[in-house]
Structure 1
Amino acid sequence: MTFIGRLWTSVLLCAASLGPAGPAWAEHPGAPEGAEQTVTYKPDVTFTLRTSISGGKLVFVGDRGAIEGVVNPDLKVPEGAVVQINLVNGDGATHDIAVPEFSARSDQISGKRAATAIVFRAAKNGTFEYLCTLPGHKAAGMVGKIIVGEPSTEVKVQAPQIANDPTRVGTPVGNRGPRQITVDLLTTEIEGRLGDNSTYRFWTFNNKVPGPFVRVRVGDRVTFNLSNAKESTHIHSIDLHAVTGPGGGAAVTQVPPGQTKSFSFTARHAGLFVYHCATPMVAQHVTNGMYGLILVEPEGGLPKVDREFYVMQGELYTARTHGSSGLQEFSLEKLLAENPEHMMFNGSLDALTKIYQMESQVGDTVRIFFGVGGPNLTSSFHVIGEVFDRVYDQASLTSKPLTDVQTTLVPPGGATMVEFKTDYPGRYLLVDHALSRMEKGLSGFLTVKGKADDTIFHSDEPIDPHSGH
């Protein structure tokens, strides 16, 4: 069958799902007189894309008209238009194309010059994704935007940035003696940025997810003052796993909006500990962003390293699917089923890939303070292309560390500390090695700069900065 024939067949199949929903209907041309006619329609807008490999990425490329040659072009259409997107296979691998927001998805195609198409009605204004749904292909670059409506009506996210900076790790305690430490935290409920085109109503400590990195030492006397913003609509609290006392502090910090409650404790155990809100229902408070880490350094402090980073893994349970635009509403049903739509490091889907830069130089020793806010899923923490020289299992800082570890398990409400030397330049990917979670937003970059040593790694092939395993 010819290219046009294959596309026309796909159009006929897709048209049936639209139903008789508009005036753009016509009889199938070329049918013999008197024969039963196949009802189809004339699309209002048609685009043709082809699959390609560009800059080491899998991409869609505009094939005709104004978008010709453009990588992952923005497809702009009027609200209510019937849209046809033709896809031509340009690289020979297996692909498809989908616009999930409008329930449009093509058949899979493989082999060069194979073709398919989707047809749908752009029923509402906004910015939505078109993508290849094969596992890993979106993450490899096969995703673009379809913009429905006039530019003046395009949905734009203008919301506070709640993602926490991974370089904000406080000051090492060094060799100082015990002190009196005061920590002031404010709980807030704010609509913040989740992704480029989406927001969520986060509940936070100090307007950040995760909350501030708290750094003390064994023997310090720590006073926590927890205030709840007067604009809040819920009671909030704090439970620190480093605290020996009722509820880790939560029993005395159930704070109504506009009030402050306090308690003091002595840091008795060295380690890296999670803290979180512990107001019923606790899992909802945690998933909404109310978690962080407190580091209790041993006497004499931790050994000096060149770079330290603060990374926490979290989950969001929303009514709408991953990739949807606009405000994402909390789903209790999905929380109880432990089925998150979004997973992220440091609060936003691109916190460690776009918003903040984690960087080191060749020869640096890197330390990552890693925790899982959760509230439900265990992490298999891994850095692709590196091996952990030392892992402080379960964040026990007084035990002998494990050495030469590839992946380390961290439970929800748990933490670890890993250290490794960055020996070779490149971009290294932070992941949970339950790798399907990358498709829900869970990834980060560590960029290593400096001179390459061919005795460590060498290839005559160009390095693809977007590759994983």
Structure 2
Amino acid sequence: MPTTIEDPSIRQHKPHWLTTVGVTLATLLFGGATLTQTAPGQMTGMRWQALNPSLYVYHCGTPPVPQHVANVLYGVILVEPAEGLSPVDREFYVMQGEFYTAGKLGDAGFQAFSMEKLLAERPDYSVFNGAVGALTGPRALRANVGEKVRIFFDVGGPNVTSSRRVIGEIFDAIHPEGASEALRHVQPTLVPAGGATIVELTLQVPGTYLLVDHSLSRLVKGAVGELVVEGADAAEIYGKSPGM
């Protein structure tokens, strides 16, 4: 499985023209795949206009599509409204994906791809940002008490729907599947395969918070990150009961 994945995110204001190679979006015929099928040694491209503000996952459209998506041929495009998004102190991008290997969970060394496990939807790894441990320890997300944070939660797939949660926090607002209208005061939120959701939260208590897919067996497979929040204790909000 890969040890590093380059940031595959694109951010634009609408309306905006982009020239790309192999990007797929819902408003294009077959997501643009018909214009970007490319033979070895050749290059193709297309122009498309970002008209609808939202958060979109793009992925490969060349058969066998599930195998290519399982090998991380995906990313995310944020199309902001003309006036931009509301200001926050920090923004983070967290993309979930799966790996289907011929070996077992935790086997060392190169792992060959398993089509059998892919078709049975039995991933060996479910990870954030491309690797086990990509958002833990020295790579953890970091913020401070009192800051407002926006997280772009995305699922590349190819198969899993994710129950995203920051354990110990409540989302002030979520934009499910990139919707313009927000829901308020939500704990976990579903993010479908090939989908994306925007969440916002205000950090009031210091500590290390876990970002998880609350289908918790996936935590063991790698779907866990850390949000380290630094600042003064907030005993008026959280602490031991008096006398205990």
Q: Aligning the two structures, in what range does the TM-score lie when normalised by the shorter sequence?
A: over 0.9
Structure 2 CA distance for aligned equivalents of residues 223 and 452 of structure 1: 49
Corresponding residue to 1:432 among 213, 217, 239: 213
1:434–1:361: structure 2 CA closer, same or farther, 3 Å change rule? same
Partner of 1:145: none
Partner of 1:377: 160
Alignment of 1:209-228 (within 5 A): 211-224=7-20, 226=21
Q: Secondary structure at the match of 1:274?
A: strand
Could you tell me whether the CA contact under 8 Å between 2:164 and 2:211 is conserved in 1? Answer: yes
Structure 1 CA distance for aligned equivalents of residues 9 and 191 of structure 2: 18
1:192 offset after TM fit, Å? 3.6
1:402 and 2:183 are equivalent in the alignment: yes
1:362 offset after TM fit, Å? 0.3
1:355 offset after TM fit, Å? 5.6
Partner of 1:247: 30
Alignment of 1:36-185 (within 5 A): none
Q: Secondary structure at the match of 2:33?
A: helix
1:193 offset after TM fit, Å? 2.1
Could you tell me whether the CA contact under 8 Å between 2:208 and 2:229 is conserved in 1? Answer: yes
1:247 offset after TM fit, Å? 1.7
List per-residue Cα deviations over 1:398-444 (Å, max 9, x = no partner).
Answer: 22x10110000111011100000011100000000000111111100
1:393 offset after TM fit, Å? 1.3
Aligned amino acid, residue 423 of structure 1: Q
1:212 offset after TM fit, Å? 1.9
1:261 and 2:44 are equivalent in the alignment: yes
Q: Secondary structure at the match of 2:155?
A: strand
Alignment of 1:299-378 (within 5 A): 299-354=82-137, 356-378=139-161
Aligned amino acid, residue 309 of structure 1: F
Partner of 2:77: 294
Structure 2 CA distance for aligned equivalents of residues 419 and 258 of structure 1: 44
Could you tell me whether the CA contact under 8 Å between 2:203 and 2:229 is conserved in 1? Answer: yes
Moved more, 249-258 or 213-222: 249-258
Aligned amino acid, residue 18 of structure 2: V
Could you tell me whether the CA contact under 8 Å between 2:99 and 2:126 is conserved in 1? Answer: yes
Q: Secondary structure at the match of 1:261?
A: coil
List per-residue Cα deviations over 1:7-45 (Å, max 9, x = no partner).
Answer: xxxxxxxxxxxxxxxxxxxxxxxxxxxxxxxxxxxxxxx
Structure 2 CA distance for aligned equivalents of residues 218 and 328 of structure 1: 41
Q: Secondary structure at the match of 2:110?
A: strand
1:193 and 2:3 are equivalent in the alignment: yes
Partner of 2:202: 421
Q: Secondary structure at the match of 1:323?
A: coil
Could you tell me whether the CA contact under 8 Å between 2:31 and 2:61 is conserved in 1? Answer: no
Structure 1 CA distance for aligned equivalents of residues 93 and 38 of structure 2: 27
Could you tell me whether the CA contact under 8 Å between 2:97 and 2:130 is conserved in 1? Answer: yes
Aligned amino acid, residue 174 of structure 2: V
Aligned amino acid, residue 12 of structure 2: V
Could you tell me whether the CA contact under 8 Å between 2:55 and 2:76 is conserved in 1? Answer: yes
Runs of at least 5 residues in structure 1 that lack an aligned partner in the other structure: 1-190, 195-206, 227-236, 461-469
Runs of at least 5 residues in structure 2 that lack an aligned partner in the other structure: none
**Number of paired residues?**
242
Structure 2 CA distance for aligned equivalents of residues 240 and 261 of structure 1: 16
Q: Secondary structure at the match of 2:30?
A: helix
Normalised to the residue count of structure 2, the TM-score between the two structures is 0.95
Aligned amino acid, residue 240 of structure 1: L
Q: Secondary structure at the match of 1:351?
A: coil
Aligned amino acid, residue 140 of structure 2: Q
List per-residue Cα deviations over 1:365-396 (Å, max 9, x = no partner).
Answer: 00001110010010000000100000111111
Structure 2 CA distance for aligned equivalents of residues 239 and 266 of structure 1: 12
Structure 1 CA distance for aligned equivalents of residues 236 and 218 of structure 2: 34
Structure 1 CA distance for aligned equivalents of residues 98 and 129 of structure 2: 10
Structure 2 CA distance for aligned equivalents of residues 457 and 374 of structure 1: 37
List per-residue Cα deviations over 1:142-161 (Å, max 9, x = no partner).
Answer: xxxxxxxxxxxxxxxxxxxx
Higher RCO by CA contacts (8 Å cutoff, separation 6 or greater): 2
Structure 2 CA distance for aligned equivalents of residues 193 and 354 of structure 1: 15
Partner of 1:104: none
Structure 1 CA distance for aligned equivalents of residues 99 and 2 of structure 2: 13
Q: CA RMSD in A?
A: 1.6
1:354 offset after TM fit, Å? 3.6
Aligned amino acid, residue 215 of structure 1: R
Normalised to the residue count of structure 1, the TM-score between the two structures is 0.50
